[in-house]
Amino acid sequence: MKRVRILIVDDSAFARKVVREILQSEQTEVVGAARDAYEGLELAASLNPDLIISDLAMPGLDGIQFIRRQMATRPIPILVLSAASEASTEVFTALNSGAVDVVHKPSGLSNDRLREIKLDLLEKIMIIMRVSPVNTSRTPEEVSSSGRLAKDRRVDLVAIGISTGGPQALRRMIPLFPKDFPAPIAIVLHMPVGYTALYAEQLNEICALEVKEAADGDLLDPGVVLLAQAGRHLTVERTSRGSVVAKLSVHPIDKLHRPSVDVLFRSAADIYGARTLGVVMTGMGDDGKEGAGCIKASGGTILTEAQESCVIYGMPRSVVEASLSDSAVPLDSMAQTIINLT
């Protein structure tokens, strides 16, 4: 098994030393350690690591600015290792800027916490790299979708799956929907536990639609956007009165992601059938491919985000290459395309 090549970006010499020591293993290899964000950008360009571990509090260019610049230059999975509280606005902003996950760094990296940090770091690294960006050397034309859109089909639910680059993409797309949008929207966004409620609140402030973190029993009504709660799968269920409500569960437990796009899409296909519009957007890995197959099998429609606007063209590519995409749509055209189809 190829070892994961890691770049450390931290202004603390002690932190760089400790993290380097605990990550030298059969699974991981530290290929560089930067003293600040500027050096981090240089080393990322020259070393081409598989993953970056970055602090947030650094002099000059801070960790959030580093994440934004790196993701704009060449997207690489970035894992935040910070002493900031896990519920801090700073950490949330880092995730909103493109970081994949966060590990809390104890004060001083005390010896009694080293083993705990090591296990947490390795676990998150392995999860991130299991869904690492797929090869994007092929051109969009080679994997282009067929463009088969059934515009006369009724849409009763828009189900969206999105991961790396998702917070930024949704902030650009969801505010474009009008208040009278005629279908509910359910979203699975891969995000660490504890941040989806805050993200939904911030998104709600800039949208005409009502955006909220999903709760058990929430009605799927037109004009409502339900964001799956991190750590729990989101499914939909029809009640005895005929309405459709949201259900949250930790099951199935065998999915790499919780919430999982596949789980939401499968549930949507079961309830809405051909009236389901599934949308797979920027993200690593292939979560959503299996669920897109369920939607297609039930007669529904699948849109994928076009390669040129994706931060990571992984999830959409997996759907396109499985011949499940009806059309590939750039981010800035996605909202209008969905509106046209509904």
> Which residues are catalytic, by number?
163, 190, 287
Q: Alpha-carbon distance 189 to 218, whole Å?
A: 18
Q: CB–CB of 275/308 below 8 Å?
A: no
Q: CB–CB of 243/123 below 8 Å?
A: no
Residue whose token pair is 């639910």:
157
Tokens of 228: 């799956």
3-class SS string, the chain: CCCEEEEEECCCHHHHHHHHHHHCCCCEEEEEEECCHHHHHHHHHHHCCCEEEECCCCCCCCHHHHHHHHHHHCCCCEEEEECCCCCCHHHHHHHHCCCCEEEECCHHHCHHHHHHHHHHHHHHHHHHHHCCCCCCCCCHHHHCCCCCCCCCCCCCEEEEEECCCHHHHHHHHHHHCCCCCCCCEEEEECCCCCCHHHHHHHHHHCCCCEEEECCCCCECCCCEEEECCCCCEEEEEECCCCCEEEEEECCCCCCCCCCCHHHHHHHHHHHHHHHEEEEECCECCCCCHHHHHHHHHCCCEEEEECHHHCCCECHHHHHHHCCCCCEEECHHHHHHHHHHHC
